[in-house]
Amino acid sequence: MAELTSAERVMRTLRRQEPDRIPHFEWIIDHRVRHAICPGSSTEEFTVRMGLDAMLTSPDYTKEQIGPARFRNEWGSILEKGREEYSIVVDGPIKTLDDLSNYEPPDPLAPNRFDSLKKVVGQYKGKYAIGVHLNDVLSIPRNLMGFQNLMMAFSEPELIKGLVDLSVNHNLVLVKEVAKLGADFVFTGDDYASTEAPFISPKMFREYLYPGLKKVIAGFHEQGLPVIKHSDGNIMPLLDMIIDSGIDCLDPIDPLAGLDIADIKNKYGDRIAVKGNVDCAHTLTFGSVEDVVKETLEVIKKAGPGGGIIISSSNSIHSAVKPGNYLAMINTIRTYGKYPINLKFDGAGAADAFT
């Protein structure tokens, strides 16, 4: 097969077809890892210089600094910046149903809301797959209430349903605009589970979250955009509902929670693509280059044949990932992820090429 552009490679994969080689990109690459590999690089520059396959962006929301490491965003949530690239919500503006009734979310079509997307499309449309981070049904409610308050609020159906409706309706407005502006796919990062179990029971998920999930995924599809759904943790009790919502790709199929990418692909590979799942909690952080090569080869062998896989870490390239290990993963994907997949060896000695 002739070499494809990154955009063609990713979109063919999301259609569960074989591209020229397995694509790779990450939701987050910590600046310390980026700078160790490509000194001084931004995420955009790193993507170009390392030949990753997607340019990722999101709607632009403003925030103001209110403390040494604290910010208030446009939604009224208080965020705290720690060591990692992302910030943690520590408080939100909604505590009660009355708060929700009086709450005005940010204007989804405010001026400059899509400046980052316009820039990426203007520079990279057709070369890289352009993904936009929107939300489905849990992150916005969590950010507006705080996680613990939200979990307790599941005893108040009207409050939960109102929050979910707010999230769905806001994102259905956003997606119309991002589609017009040239996005190629949507990814949502609303986590549903811890390593041990979902945050709420399958019964509660079906009642409170599943209808909104189906509605928002259908709305993304109405604009012609496939959807990569992310959730860490043990989502197995919810998995059939997540698949039935209509998503196009599941990420990251968390090995720390006991999920196996081969099992998921064997059972659901006629309906979804898969993304994942080289272990970033252990292998990429504490393992050797040989360990990384071996695990990456295992993912290729398990889920590569037939297409429909994007190989990445099992969550993100966080600050503790060894830069050399990330490079070893990238090089293994490039070297052994070419179609047709033909790995007829156990991987012994493969790491020699990357040390």
The predicted structure's pLDDT at residue 138:
98
Residue 1 lies in a domain: no
The predicted structure's pLDDT at residue 86:
86
Residue 294 lies in a domain: yes
Among residues 351, 330, 348, 281, the alpha carbon closest in space to that of 22 is found at: 330
Residues 6+ apart with CB under 8 A from 33: 317, 319, 321, 323, 326
Residue 306 lies in a domain: yes
Q: Rounded CA gap, 132 and 171, in Å?
A: 11
Per-residue confidence in pLDDT tens, the chain, 355 aa = 789 999 999 999 999 999 999 999 999 999 999 999 999 999 999 999 999 999 999 999 999 999 999 999 999 999 999 999 889 999 999 999 999 999 999 999 999 999 999 999 999 999 999 999 999 999 999 999 999 999 999 999 999 999 999 999 999 999 999 999 999 999 999 999 999 999 999 999 999 999 999 999 999 999 999 999 999 999 999 999 999 999 999 999 999 999 999 999 999 999 999 999 999 999 999 999 999 999 999 999 999 999 999 999 999 999 999 999 999 999 999 999 999 998 865 555 565 555 5
Cβ atoms 284, 329 nearer than 8 A? yes
Residue 161 lies in a domain: yes
Beta bridge partners of 250: 229, 274
Counting Cα atoms < 13 Å in the Cβ hemisphere of 334 gives 14
Residue 289 lies in a domain: yes
The residue assigned the tokens 């057709």 is 126
Give the Cβ contact number of residue 90 at 10 Å. Answer: 12
The predicted structure's pLDDT at residue 355:
53
Q: What Å distances lie between residue 294 and 287, 290, 345, 354, CA to CA? A: 11, 6, 11, 12
Give this prediction's pTM. 0.96
Residue 30 lies in a domain: yes
Cβ atoms 37, 323 nearer than 8 A? yes
Residues 6+ apart with CB under 8 A from 58: 116, 117, 132, 133, 134
**CATH code (residue 170):** 3.20.20.210
The predicted structure's pLDDT at residue 351:
54
Q: Quote the number of domains for the chain.
A: 1
Q: Which domain holds residue 206?
A: 6-354
The predicted structure's pLDDT at residue 347:
54
Residue 127 lies in a domain: yes
Residue 117 lies in a domain: yes
